[in-house]
Structure 1
Amino acid sequence: MATKFKKQSGLSVPLPAWIVIGAMLMLLAIIITLAVKDLQRGRAIEIQTLREKSAVLIRSFESGARTGMGMRWRQDQRQILLEEMAYQPGVLYIAIADRYGRILAHSDPQRVGSQLYSPQQMAALKVSGAEQWHMTSVINRQQNRENAFETYRYFKPLKRNNDHMGHMMNRHRMAEAEADASADEGQTIIFAAFDTTALDAAQAKDIRNTAILLTILLLLALACLAALFWARRYQRSHQQLQDSKTFASEIINNLPLGLITTNEQRQISVVNPAAEAMLTCSAANLLGQSSHQVLPAEWNQWVVNPAQGQPVIEQEMEFSLANGQGLPLSVSVANILNHSGHFLGNVFIFRDMREIRQLQDEVRRKEKLAAIGDLAAGVAHEIRNPLSSIKGFAKYFEGRSPPGSEERELANVMAKEVDRLNRVISELLALVRPANLHLQRANINDVIAHSLHLIRQDAEAKNIILRSHCDDGLPLVEVDPDHFTQALLNLYLNAIQAIGSDGVLEVGVERIDERKIRVTVCDSGKGIKPDDLAKIFNPYFTTKATGTGLGLTMVQKVIEEHQGTIRVVSNPQTGTRFEMVIPLGQKKQEGASDVKT
């Protein structure tokens, strides 16, 4: 019974795990890259804002300085302008230093004259006419060091942005101011430092938000990976479970032994096809039923408590089928326990012992034949020699006695009995010796017709009707016509004796498969007693007063030498039926044609 695997509908074929993991890692890398770029872009925007703010502040101070030059401001007025501009939100300081880093002017007057940067640091700044910036650290008014965004370039108070400044001062005063400041042009550098607390806070906030987002995404990715792992594990476990179930189901369904299992409540849960065939009962009628109701009482008696003893192994019993026939079974019962020792049910395993018993009977029969053969081979010569002498003396006395006398009659009876005894010995020797079959391809219908022709007169004498059912479409069969005819004659003679008179003897032949045919011999006689059915093929077993008990034994021997089988079904009401199954072609046994009798 083959188990079919069905594809489940609605389920897509899952992608390989490495593809899903790779896609997730790639997506995570893309998200991280975009987040980093977004952080960098935000920082660049903030820095650009500070650069623009610092540029405006420096140009404003330069514009104020130009105005002050035109109006001949004093140094303290310029300092006030510098301090006022430095008081704007986010501005840490504004300073003017020479090229050696010495502070010429500062929003903090106390720092005027001190060093803003060393000459080496000033050289490293590479000051030019364009605004440049860098991140540095400064000491604020609270004497705390903090990060600062500092821009710097040459201080150019004389450079005008447009020509409209001329109307604000007269040319004479402007010329004087330019003459005073031309000496400092290109020698002083203006520095503007801005507080980066807001920039750092915004960047920290962006980093924190990005980190939170990435953490959430990472957790989601890990959750997806874990879900994928567990899904794959579940799928693999589910597949393994399905494969195990299919494997177990296939084994159970194709097991040649009968198998029945029960659950914890002793209810039948599994019945395999072999059990159905043996018990001649459908599984639908057994499933869910209590084992005490549907199984033999002996089986339930063999069930032991899980905490007690071992299972029953190979207990033989005679099971009564629904039709009243007996079925020899070998039954074993075991408890089903899980890994923790919890009881799950029972399993009953049983097998049909008919074939084994037939083999056992066959072995015993052959052992008997071998023993008889050894005996016959040993005593046949010793018996035949005296029989020859006895028959010679009987013929001698028969010749010396007058015709019709009692002595002549006794001598004749003695000679016939000697012949009968010699014939028995010959049959016995023929029984135990391998037959030298002369196999040939013959029409089995012709063999049957010839055998019926030989007993037609005996059948007609007892008013027995002969019927034959032949199949003209049968191929030629490889048989020994003489031996097979003799086997049929033995069956015919037994049938005629069983019928007595006024009966029917039927012979039929049919093809049962591509390699075998079946020949049946049926009679309407009195049948064979059930107790005698198992003995009819034994040597010297007979129920007839004048029988030798070797006829059916010889029939069985001939059929087996044709590599066939013979079985008998008998009923006192319907008679006896012999079925002989032989192959169409013979496999020649080694040495079979070389044995001489």
Structure 2
Amino acid sequence: MINKKHISIYSFPWMIISAAAILLVIVVSLAVSNHNREKQYMSQILLEKGAALIKSFEAGTRTGMRAMGWNENQVQYLLQELADQADVLYIAITDINGRILAHSDPEQINARFFVKSGDQEALNPGESAKWQLTKTQSGKPAFEVYSFFNPFSGRNANRRQMGHLRQFAPRPGRAQQGRSWRIPDNSEENKQIIFIGFDRTPFIEARQQDIKITAIISLVLFILGFTGMAIMLIARNYRTTRQRLQDTSAMADQVVASLPVGLMVTDAEGRIVLHNPAAESITGLDAKSVRGQFADEMLPDNLAQLICRQQADKQIMEHELECIFLPGQKRVPLSVSSTGIINEDGAFIGSMVILRDLTEIKDLQQTVQRKEKLAAVGELAAGIAHEIRNPLSSVKGMATYFKARYAQDPEARDAAAVMVQETDRLNRVISELLEFARPSEINARPADINPVLDHSLHLVRQEAAEKNIDIRISKGQNLPHADIDSDRFIQCLLNLYLNAIQSMESSGILKVTSSPGTDENIVIQVQDNGPGIDRADLAKIFDPYFTTKASGTGLGLAIVHKIVESHNGRITVKSSPEEGTVFTITLPASANAATKEA
């Protein structure tokens, strides 16, 4: 006969397995529920946004054609402007057969619109917006909203309003191949469909991040639950309980210490009882110094307010904050999740706060925004430059003619000379615009950087001598070669030299140094002792068209930044008013890293 002690021993593993299975089912259920809810929210938000954009575009088209006499070109421009949003991949209008009549990418007009199912009729569009999950031809995931497109449907389609717009309507019996967008009518063959594709990438990435965090927290809860159950079941044996308690405590500490997110826990009175290493790294506060202290005394006010102290609240609150934890510390962008901790009796015993450092994410967002801005400015600049340069040549020719014709009239001659001078300046600005907009074509070859510095400084010595500026160069020895396009890189250096020379008064110092960096990089510094740059302007100096000079174009440093990036390098700047400015360029060493003999 099996005694009760043996029964207890045999049942112990099954109890652990049962508890783990229950926790696993709960975690999986919550994860699936959260996934479905996020998918539903994404679909609802993007569908409503897509429907609103369709209505806005129809209203804009209707207003423009009715009040301002727009034609298909202006409608195409309106479509392109409407599509110029960060989360919009494309906007297209097709006929019922799938031929593109208007598109945010004009090159797609008259092409066959890519449909996921391959069959245009399978979409079954209607007057109300519908959606489908699809991918672009390049494979990018998209949330596509579509419906019939008719800006003059319903009460706005009376004959009196449509009479003067017949010139834009499709002509019966005439093929529409090779034509751009025309006003749709109510006939079945001339119906049009509008498609708006939204970028699903941010939602997918956010969902993956949520799944990752949920998995980590679930693992912590599973381990803590397993530990608690094990301690309860073996509490009768003091010696075994003590040993297992020590092991369990070490395990829990290791899990908490290994978490990739900061974790802080306070008791019911608001005293900090747990502050893991990740939280130390994020906040800069040592765990020993904050343990036992009140949270509102040690933490910034905006973070301390999120910690529950008196009222029990099981709801998880999500916030994004910028906090300063120590004097002189930079603001730290954080994603904060806080919740109350409730015991078995329903009593509030403390709060838990999870901190995630968003610094890298914010930096990546700024980098993406900058690249998008530069791309847009480049395209705009190229178009404007080509349109202005031709008539500019005629203006300069006429100014030169009048200068010669009225050579005996000093006032007229001087006015013509000013016109020629300003025309040349404007032509120089256009050249910089084209240089900035042109894709960087780098013919990189392994080269010793020191001769490049010598040659580039030789080109500005005359201009420096005119202002009595002393040029100093310090060349590092045994530097690895760098893969550079010498002509383009010299252009980059000249822009930095000229900016430094123009910023300094007479008797200034221009210092150029080259030295080895970390990871076999090459570091080049261009330093002056001019008036420096205001702190508020430092973040904008590489933006196109930003300048502090009265006659500057604001493109010099933008071109410098573009050239350095095209060489897979990076450029940084340090400056203080009245102390001068230092530009630092870091270039990777060549794969065939030869070194210069000393």
TM (norm. structure 1) is 0.54
Taking the aligned partners of 1:275 and 1:506, their CA distance within structure 2 comes to: 43
Taking the aligned partners of 1:534 and 1:558, their CA distance within structure 2 comes to: 18
Q: Is the 8 A contact 1:299 1:333 kept in 2?
A: no
Distance 1:499 1:269, change over 3 A: farther
Pick from 459, 468, 473 the counterpart of residue 468 of structure 1: 473
Partner of 2:289: 285
Pick from 295, 299, 304 the counterpart of residue 303 of structure 2: 299
Distance 1:307 1:321, change over 3 A: closer
Q: Is the 8 A contact 1:319 1:327 kept in 2?
A: yes
Distance 1:271 1:242, change over 3 A: closer
Q: Which aligned pairs between 1:286-365 and structure 2 lie closer than 5 A?
A: 286-304=290-308, 305=310, 307-308=312-313, 310-319=315-324, 321-323=326-328, 325-337=330-342, 341-365=346-370
Partner of 2:545: 540
Partner of 1:483: 488
Q: Is the 8 A contact 1:319 1:329 kept in 2?
A: no
SS of residue paired to 1:514:
helix
Pick from 413, 429, 432 the counterpart of residue 427 of structure 1: 432
Q: Is the 8 A contact 2:256 2:263 kept in 1?
A: no
Partner of 2:253: 245
Q: Which aligned pairs between 1:171-250 and structure 2 lie closer than 5 A?
A: 239=247, 242-250=250-258
CA distances 1:541-571 after superposition (whole Å, capped 9, x unpaired):
1111011111111111111112222222221
Distance 1:468 1:410, change over 3 A: same
Partner of 1:414: 419
CA distances 1:451-485 after superposition (whole Å, capped 9, x unpaired):
23322333333333333343212211112222222
Q: Is the 8 A contact 1:563 1:586 kept in 2?
A: no
CA distances 1:277-301 after superposition (whole Å, capped 9, x unpaired):
4444444433332212211111111
User: Given the alignment of the two structures, is residue 387 of structure 1 paired with residue 395 of structure 2, yes or no?
Assistant: no
User: Given the alignment of the two structures, is residue 269 of structure 1 paired with residue 273 of structure 2, yes or no?
Assistant: yes
Taking the aligned partners of 2:441 and 2:463, their CA distance within structure 1 comes to: 30
The letter for the 2-side match of 1:314 is H
Taking the aligned partners of 2:444 and 2:465, their CA distance within structure 1 comes to: 32
CA distances 1:103-161 after superposition (whole Å, capped 9, x unpaired):
xxxxxxxxxxxxxxxxxxxxxxxxxxxxxxxxxxxxxxxxxxxxxxxxxxxxxxxxxxx
User: Given the alignment of the two structures, is residue 555 of structure 1 paired with residue 560 of structure 2, yes or no?
Assistant: yes
Taking the aligned partners of 1:486 and 1:295, their CA distance within structure 2 comes to: 50
Taking the aligned partners of 1:511 and 1:349, their CA distance within structure 2 comes to: 41
CA distances 1:31-82 after superposition (whole Å, capped 9, x unpaired):
xxxxxxxxxxxxxxxxxxxxxxxxxxxxxxxxxxxxxxxxxxxxxxxxxxxx
SS of residue paired to 1:302:
coil
Taking the aligned partners of 1:459 and 1:426, their CA distance within structure 2 comes to: 25
Taking the aligned partners of 1:520 and 1:338, their CA distance within structure 2 comes to: 60
Q: Is the 8 A contact 1:476 1:584 kept in 2?
A: yes
Q: Is the 8 A contact 1:516 1:584 kept in 2?
A: yes
CA distances 1:83-102 after superposition (whole Å, capped 9, x unpaired):
xxxxxxxxxxxxxxxxxxxx
Taking the aligned partners of 1:283 and 1:372, their CA distance within structure 2 comes to: 48
Q: Is the 8 A contact 1:321 1:327 kept in 2?
A: no
User: Given the alignment of the two structures, is residue 373 of structure 1 paired with residue 381 of structure 2, yes or no?
Assistant: no
Taking the aligned partners of 1:496 and 1:336, their CA distance within structure 2 comes to: 63
Aligned residues: 359
CA distances 1:11-37 after superposition (whole Å, capped 9, x unpaired):
xxxxxxxxxx9xxxxxxxxxxxxxxxx
The letter for the 1-side match of 2:265 is T
CA distances 1:491-520 after superposition (whole Å, capped 9, x unpaired):
222222222233333333333322433322
Offset of 1:530 from its aligned partner?
Answer: 2.0
Q: Is the 8 A contact 1:519 1:580 kept in 2?
A: yes
TM (norm. structure 2) is 0.53
CA distances 1:353-407 after superposition (whole Å, capped 9, x unpaired):
4443333333333333232233233333321221121122222223323267333
Distance 1:331 1:505, change over 3 A: farther
Distance 1:584 1:339, change over 3 A: farther
The letter for the 1-side match of 2:321 is E
User: Given the alignment of the two structures, is residue 568 of structure 1 paired with residue 573 of structure 2, yes or no?
Assistant: yes
Q: Is the 8 A contact 2:312 2:342 kept in 1?
A: no
SS of residue paired to 1:489:
helix
Taking the aligned partners of 1:474 and 1:345, their CA distance within structure 2 comes to: 58
The letter for the 2-side match of 1:298 is N
Taking the aligned partners of 1:529 and 1:357, their CA distance within structure 2 comes to: 23
SS of residue paired to 2:393:
helix
Taking the aligned partners of 1:372 and 1:528, their CA distance within structure 2 comes to: 24
CA distances 1:319-353 after superposition (whole Å, capped 9, x unpaired):
26422644444434333445665545333333444
Partner of 2:222: none
Offset of 1:309 from its aligned partner?
Answer: 6.6
Distance 1:327 1:346, change over 3 A: same
Partner of 2:521: 516
SS of residue paired to 1:535:
coil
Taking the aligned partners of 2:313 and 2:267, their CA distance within structure 1 comes to: 18
Offset of 1:236 from its aligned partner?
Answer: 6.9
SS of residue paired to 2:402:
helix
Pick from 490, 508, 512 the counterpart of residue 507 of structure 1: 512
Taking the aligned partners of 1:478 and 1:521, their CA distance within structure 2 comes to: 20
SS of residue paired to 2:519:
coil
User: Given the alignment of the two structures, is residue 402 of structure 1 paired with residue 407 of structure 2, yes or no?
Assistant: yes
Distance 1:417 1:523, change over 3 A: same
Taking the aligned partners of 2:418 and 2:294, their CA distance within structure 1 comes to: 72
Partner of 2:459: 454
Taking the aligned partners of 1:240 and 1:336, their CA distance within structure 2 comes to: 21
Partner of 1:498: 503
Taking the aligned partners of 1:483 and 1:333, their CA distance within structure 2 comes to: 52
The letter for the 2-side match of 1:480 is D
Q: Which aligned pairs between 1:157-168 and structure 2 lie closer than 5 A?
A: none
The letter for the 2-side match of 1:437 is I
Taking the aligned partners of 2:239 and 2:285, their CA distance within structure 1 comes to: 43
Q: Is the 8 A contact 1:445 1:470 kept in 2?
A: yes
The letter for the 1-side match of 2:255 is F
Partner of 1:31: none
Taking the aligned partners of 2:547 and 2:243, their CA distance within structure 1 comes to: 70
Partner of 1:38: none
User: Given the alignment of the two structures, is residue 440 of structure 1 paired with residue 445 of structure 2, yes or no?
Assistant: yes
Q: Is the 8 A contact 1:268 1:289 kept in 2?
A: yes
CA distances 1:522-557 after superposition (whole Å, capped 9, x unpaired):
222222122222221211111110111111111111
* Structure showing greater Rg: 1
Taking the aligned partners of 2:327 and 2:585, their CA distance within structure 1 comes to: 27
Q: Is the 8 A contact 2:303 2:323 kept in 1?
A: no
CA distances 1:166-199 after superposition (whole Å, capped 9, x unpaired):
xxxxxxxxxxxxxxxxxxxxxxxxxxxxxxxxxx
